[in-house]
Structure 1
Amino acid sequence: MKIVRLLCVLVCLFPLARGYAQSLLQNDELVRKRINAAASLLSFTVVPDVTTSNLSVASGNVNDDDVGMRLTQFGGGATLSSDFPMYAEGTMGYSRYDPRFIVTSGEEVRSVPFRWNAFSAAGGLGWDFPLREHLVLRPILNISLGTVASDVLIGRLILENRTGRELAFLDGGSMSFYGYGGSLMLDYEFFSDAYDMDVEARYSNIRLEPFQKDDRAVAGGASAEQLNLYFRTRIPTGMHLFERPVRVVLESAHTEFLDEQRGVLGFDYLTSFGLGMEIDTSKYDIWISRTRLVARYITGDNTTGYSLGLAVSF
């Protein structure tokens, strides 16, 4: 008789257990989706790119998929000399990702933000192979390091209604990544008293992998695969400052995001147009030779924006 009662209890509990397991799987998938997206943000800051150097994306709807993103990047690159044409580049980036989860505890339903900050540092070494005057082919080896960290401590009520394993990373946790890959650049540079011109075409493919891969909720990585086109010309205005000509700067850039990056932030490409001024201080014995201030208009798939960039030459 006891066995029959036990079987009846198990039969009654089976649908509840199955529903609970399905709920946990759905929660796992939601968390994994958000964390993979946070890790993907690192991929937008490890490749030098004018179009994403200062980018903000926001949604006006406060729901399960409401996301706020900010990306900032600075860095540069240069060839050491014509006699020793080694090329070196470096960038540092910061991105912030603010997804929201809809969680419930009994009759209470609340929208909880999980703020993730991503920091990255990337570098590359290459070599210039001259193809013709002013034109070089430049293969580059790239490495990078980055971390994604949560700055939100989740309340005990929420933690008790979720599995600690899946939310350990969200609850003030962090995850570090390393990156490896390469780029191939075609660079045309022309300098004269009348005007300067710089045209670049670059393909980059950098893979980001987590240092720790034992947690199924945060397993995986991200790839930065991009095709970048960049044009800049500097033309003297006729005015002089610091005994050097003041130049107007015209620039344009286009970035196609490939493979995993395509559509992650809601667009497949970004195009920017820039207008600015450049001041030359090379006559004086200071460590900055040129300073450029450029205003940019950025457009893409259902995306528009503005940015203001400051650049210096040494």
Structure 2
Amino acid sequence: MKAALRHGTRPLRLRKHIRHGLRLCAAFVALSACHHAGAQAGFQLIGPGVQKQANGVLALMGYSVVPDLASSSLSINNAATSNPGIVMSQLGGGFTMSKTFPLYLEGSIAYSRYDPTFVATDGSESREVPTRWNTVAGTIGIGWDFPLTADKELVFRPILNASLGNVSSDLAVAKAVVERAADRQIDFLNGGTLNAYGLGGAVMIDWEHYRETHEIDLELRYTNIYLQTFGGTSASVKGTATAQTANVYARWRAPTGMFAMDRPVRYVLEISHSHYYGNQAGVLGFNHLTTLGTGLELDTSAHEIFVTRVRAVVRYVFGNNVSGVSLGLAASF
């Protein structure tokens, strides 16, 4: 049985379109408050329709529910403030039980924080309304490996996926601002939530070619997960979105000639490319990301340690309007 666990921190610099991406995913709860305010006098929050905002937040959640190395961790700065407007992080992995019982299991859990700013106006005066949104999402998957070669190095892997996510508000400051501006209590701003579930699946081609002189991993995957709000979500912010990602991942490992813990130390070369479709496409100003990585791998299998290999990889990430550097850590079991 083998398994892999990957995580990384990937700061990206957005060169343009940051305002478009952030406002497209703007906080639907603040706009819902405007909806309830109706035609009464006073300040009102302005922006796109509530339904569009709800769908935008779900599209952003799509980056968290799809297992994907390229977007597993993003930190995008707001060009106006140089502070992170979006932070995403994902921890996940998958494994096949054995060659004789090729049941495949995977899982991931992700966290993101989104900091949009809205404007309240009465027609003559405008005030900024800062908001904070925290998202937690998890995805599980179950599949089966169908060998395409006699040695079972190349397999076709269909996977069924299910996801669950929650967006909750952290609006103590914004709530006070809006109350002073509109001179009324806005209950939905205080602890507003959006709950969503996702159902879908993936198809994958996986090639694992392991020799003493080198090791090659190659994965091609297409994932499609449909997200739908449910439960305690307000009626005015119910929405849907489709998370679709196609990605290719390749890794080369070979001995460096050095030894540690009675095993050879390997160097690692990686490349991955992810293309985003559906509601994810362009929501953050890009529709694809590419990573190039290099690092070292320590083999601990000669000793009684829970993990068998530990890797540290430095990656350069780039795509439409974004670029950055990350340090990723991974472990095999």
Is 1:86 matched with 2:106?
no
Counterpart of 2:63 in structure 1 is 44
The Cα of 1:155 is off from its aligned counterpart by 3.4
Q: Quick one: distance in 2 between partners of 1:24 and 1:104?
A: 5
Give 1:210 deviation, angstroms. 1.1
Q: Which residue of 1 aligns with 2:267?
A: 248
Q: Which amino acid aligns with 1:59?
A: N
Within 5 A, what are the aligned runs for 1:231-310?
231-310=250-329
Partner of 1:61: 80
1:6 maps to: none
Unpaired runs of at least 5, structure 2? 1-37
Change (3 A) 1:169 1:248: farther
Conserved? CA contact 2:195–2:232, under 8 Å: no
Separation (CA, whole Å) in 2 of partners of 1:276 and 1:124? 29
What's the % identity of the aligned pairs? 44
1:115 is the counterpart of 2:129: no
Superposition deviation, residue 259 in structure 1: 1.4
Following superposition, the deviation at residue 213 of structure 1 comes to 8.0
Could you tell me whether the CA contact under 8 Å between 1:150 and 1:169 is conserved in 2? no
Map 1:120-199; keep pairs closer than 5 Å: 120-132=137-149, 133=151, 134-153=153-172, 154-156=174-176, 158-159=178-179, 168-199=187-218
**Which of the residues 74, 87, 93 maps onto 1:70?**
87
The secondary structure found in structure 2 opposite 1:258 is strand
Task: Summarize the Cα distance change of 1:97–1:169 in structure 2 as closer, same or farther, 3 Å threshold.
Answer: farther
TM-score under structure 1 normalisation?
0.85
Aligned residues of 1:41 and 1:118 also touching (Cα < 8 A): no
TM superposition shift of 1:174 = 1.3
- Structure 1: 5+ residue runs without aligned partners? 1-18
**AA partner of residue 130 (structure 2):** P
Change (3 A) 1:74 1:214: closer
CA distance in 2, matches of 1:205, 1:163: 45
- Between the aligned partners of 2:58 and 2:311, the Cα distance in structure 1 is 32
What is the CA–CA distance in structure 2 between the aligned matches of 1:71 and 1:79, rounded to whole Å? 27
Q: Does 1:102 align with 2:125?
A: no
RCO comparison, higher one (Cα < 8 Å, 6+): 2
**Distance 1:305-1:47 versus aligned 2 partners, 3 A rule:** same
Q: Write the distance in 2 (CA, Å) between the matches of 1:236 and 1:272.
A: 23
Q: Deviations over 1:30-76 (max 9, x none)?
A: 555444333322210111111111111222126xxx98111101110
User: Is the Cα–Cα contact under 8 Å of residues 194 and 235 in structure 1 kept in the other structure?
Assistant: yes
After superposition, the C-alpha distances for 1:74-131 in whole angstroms (9 at most, x for unaligned) are 1100100011100000001011111100113686532121110110111100000011
Find the residue that maps to 1:43 and give its secondary structure: helix
Q: Structure 1 residues 136, 162: CA separation in 2 closer, same or farther (over 3 Å shift)?
A: farther
Whole-angstrom CA distance in 2 between matches of 1:26 and 1:106: 11
* Aligned partner letter, 1:29: P
Amino acid at match of 2:121: T
Cα distance change on mapping 1:190 and 1:93 into 2, 3 Å: same
Confirm or deny: 8 A CA contact 2:140 2:162 kept in the other structure: yes
**1: distance between equivalents of 2:232 and 2:138?**
21
Q: CA deviation at 1:152?
A: 1.1
Q: CA RMSD in A?
A: 2.7
Amino acid at match of 1:97: Y
Worse-superposed segment, 70-79 or 208-217? 208-217
Distance 1:214 1:286 in 2: 45
TM-score, structure 2 normalization: 0.80
For 2:280 and 2:203, how far apart are their aligned partners in 1?
Answer: 18
Aligned-partner residue type, residue 88 of structure 1: L
